[in-house]
Chains A and B, each alone.
Chain A
Amino acid sequence: MQKYQSFQCFCSRFQCVWRNLTTVSKASLIVGKPRYIDAQGNDATQPSNLEHVKAFASRKPSPVTLKRLFEFGSDPSPKKLLTAAQLLHRELPCRLARRVIQLASLPYGLSDMPSVKTVKDMYERSFLDMIQFPKPLDEEEELIFTELIRRIRQRHDNVVKLIAKGILELKRYCGKGTEDISIHDFLDRFYMSRIGIRFLISQHIAMHEPREGYVGVINARCRPADVAEDAANVAKSIAYRHYGEAPDIQLLGNISLSFPYIEGHLHHMFFELLKNSLRATIEYHRDSDIFPPVKIIIADGQEDVTVKISDEGGGIPRSAMNKIWTYMFTTVDIPPERVLEATDGGAYKGPDADPIAGLGYGLPLSRLYARYFGGELSVMSMEGYGTDAYLHICKLGDKEESLV
Chain B
Amino acid sequence: MWWLSVRNRCKYIQLFYRSFSYGTTDYLTVHDNAVARYAKKEPRKHTINQLIQFGKQLNEQKLIQSARFVHQELPVRLAHRIIDLRSLPYYVVCGPIKRIYDVYVEAFESVRNFRKIQDLQDEKEFTVLLKHLVDESANVVELLAHGLRLALLRASQREHLDLDSFVDQMLISRIGRRMIAEQHVMLHESRPGFVGVINTDCSPQQCLNIAYQECSRICFRQYGVEVPVQIRGSVSTIPYIPYHLHYILLELLKNAMRAVVERHFTQNNHKNSLLLGKDSMPPIEVLLTEGPKQVTIRISDQGGGISLDILPSIFRYGFSTMNRLREEEQGGEWDRLVQRQSVDGPMAGLGFGLPLSKLYAQYFGGNLQLISMDGYGTDVYVHLDRTGDVLEGVEI
Contact = CB atoms under 8 A, between A and B. Distances in A.
B289 to A, nearest CB: 4
Interface of B: 233, 287, 289-294, 296, 298, 305, 307-308, 369, 371-377, 379, 381
A304 B375 CA distance: 9
A383 B375 contact: no
A306 B296 contact: no
A297 interface: yes
Interface in A287-313: 297, 299-306, 308
Interface stretch (A83-91, A108-116, A158-166, A384-392): A384-392
B305 A301 contact: yes
A302 B298 CA distance: 25
Q: For chain A, what secondary structure do more than half of its interface residues adopt (helix, strand, loop), or is it mixed?
A: strand
> Which residue of B296, B371, B375, B379 has the most chain A CB atoms within 10 A of its CB atom?
B375
Contact of A383 (B289, B307, B308, B369): B289
Given A301-B308, A318-B294, A388-B379, A382 B374 contact: no
Given A302-B307, A382-B298, A383-B296, A253 B376 contact: yes
A315 B307 CA distance: 28
A306 B379 contact: no
Contacts of B289: 315, 382-385
A306 B376 contact: yes
A383 B374 contact: no
- Could you say which interface size class chain A belongs to? 20 to 34
Contacts of A318: 291, 293-294
Given A304-B374, A390-B371, A382 B296 contact: yes
A16 to B, nearest CB: 55
Contacts of A308: 373, 379
15 contacts: A253-B376, A301-B307, A301-B308, A301-B375, A306-B305, A318-B294, A380-B369, A380-B381, A382-B298, A383-B290, A384-B289, A384-B290, A385-B289, A390-B371, A390-B373
A382 B384 CA distance: 12
> Which residue of A303, A317, A380 has the most chain B CB atoms within 10 A of its CB atom?
A380
Interface in A360-380: 378, 380
A301 B374 contact: yes
> Which residue of A303, A385, A390 has the most chain B CB atoms within 10 A of its CB atom?
A385
Leading 9 A-B pairs by shortest Cβ distance:
A301-B374, A383-B291, A299-B376, A385-B289, A306-B373, A299-B373, A301-B375, A382-B289, A300-B375
> Which residue of B369, B372, B376, B381 has the most chain A CB atoms within 10 A of its CB atom?
B376
A359 B233 CA distance: 35
Interface in A321-357: none
A381 to B, nearest CB: 8
A254 interface: yes
Nearest to A378: B371
